[in-house]
Amino acid sequence: MFIIGKLLFTLIFIILVIMLLASCIKIVPQANSWIIEFLGKYHTTWEAGIHFKIPVLYRIAKKVSLKEQVADFEPQPVITKDNVTMMVDSVVFFSIFDPKSFAYGVERPIAAIENLSATTLRNIVGSMTLDETLTGRDEINGQITTILDEATDKYGIKVSRVEVKNIDPPKSIKEAMEKQMKAEREKREAILTAEGKKQSAITLAEGEKEAAILRADAVKEQRIREAQGEAEALLAVQRAKAEGIRLINEADPTDKFLTIRSFEAAEKMADGQATKLVVPSDIANLAGTLKALKDTVE
């Protein structure tokens, strides 16, 4: 029984030693750092990986995450340069680059960033008017980021950027801004309507002008073509008459033919409205006279 008890005690002791050794083996996850103290004093910083911790002598003072973190702060009352009080809230993006400074530099680093952000925001907005504040978010973000980054270096904190989420003016200011925006929209609408009517009238007048010019050109072209047609027709008639006279002259007409032509001319004259027609008694002699004139001309 004594031997069995001794073996059991030895087994328990071995198990306790194994458990103690296992508890001394520490694994630091990725993107983390652990602050180690030796007898209450800073000793070293463990990075990601496996480490051995001496019981009692070593103590894990702080576990620090190296990932980028986001701190969303409550709205802060700020007063602009033109004495308008508004509520402004901000979001700070930061990461820890020096775990030792972060662990020993400030007691409550997040609270320190919040208070520093609120103070900086009041100073920046206090130097701007309401309109400049509403339209200058990028400028505000840039200034706060620069100031916070410089101020938190001693805490081992890197401020990557600061974003102003909301700018909430008083209700009276909101109502005044809405009325101003409405008036501006109505003004732009009236200007656009007037410009549209003006452009429409100009386009209509130009269209009527072009139509009148086209109509005048069409009438002018028509008259020119009619005149050309009449001139060509008259010229054709005269040419036909001249050709007829030439053919008659070349045919050397006899007295009888001329007499017949004289009677035809008298017949055409009788087709008018005249009630009386005087025919010379010597119409045959008239034909001879015409023959003599023809011979003379030749």
Domain assignment present for 10:
no
Q: Are residues 153 and 113 in the same domain?
A: yes
Give the span between the Cα atoms of 30 and 97, in whole angstroms. 14
The DSSP code for 154 is: G
Task: Say whether both 81 and 49 belong to one domain.
Answer: no
Please report, to the nearest 10 degrees, the dihedral formed by the alpha carbons of residues 219, 224, 226, 228 taken in order: -170
Per-residue confidence band for 95, with pLDDT thresholds at 50, 70 and 90: very high
* Distance in angstroms between the alpha carbons of the first and the last residue of the chain: 182
Is 16 domain-assigned?
A: no
Domain boundary among 129, 145, 169: 169
Same domain, 105 and 195: no
Residue 125 shares a structural domain with residue 187: no
Task: Looking at the structure, tell me whether residues 92 and 33 fall in a common domain.
Answer: no
Which of these three, 66, 86, 102, is where a domain ends?
Answer: 66
Q: Are 162 and 177 members of one domain?
A: no
Q: What CA–CA distance (Å, rounded) separates 21 from 275?
A: 159
User: Quick one: pLDDT at residue 32?
Assistant: 92
More reliable by pLDDT, 294 or 222: 222
pTM for the model stands at 0.54
User: Alpha carbon 176 to chain centroid distance?
Assistant: 29
17-39: burial string, b at 16+ Cβ within 10 Å, e else: eeeeeeeeeeebeeeebbbbbee
User: Same structural domain for residues 153 and 78?
Assistant: yes
In a domain, 38, yes or no: yes
User: What is the identity of the amino acid at 190?
Assistant: A
- How far apart (Å, rounded) are the C-alpha atoms in residues 10 and 13? 5
Residues 81 and 149 in one domain: yes
CA 62 – CA 49 distance, rounded (Å) = 16
Quote the domain boundaries for residue 81. 69-169
Q: 49: which strand partners?
A: 28
pLDDT-based confidence at residue 92 (cuts at 50, 70, 90): very high
Closest CA to 109 of 92, 134, 121: 92
* Same-domain pairing of 210 and 281: no
Same domain as 154, residue 123? yes
Number of domains in the chain: 4
Residue 95 · residue 69 · CB < 8 Å: yes
* Helix, strand, coil percentages, rounded to 5, for the chain: 60, 20, 20
Distance CA 179, CA 106 (A): 48
Among residues 169, 197, 222, the one where a domain terminates is 169
Q: Is the pLDDT score of 297 beyond 70? A: no
Same structural domain for residues 176 and 227? yes
- The token duo for 230 is 């009449």
**Size (the chain), residues:** 298
**CATH classification at residue 136:** 3.30.479.30
Do 100 and 156 touch, CB atoms closer than 8 A?
yes
30-40 confidence digits (pLDDT tens): 989 999 998 88
Same domain, 177 and 221: yes
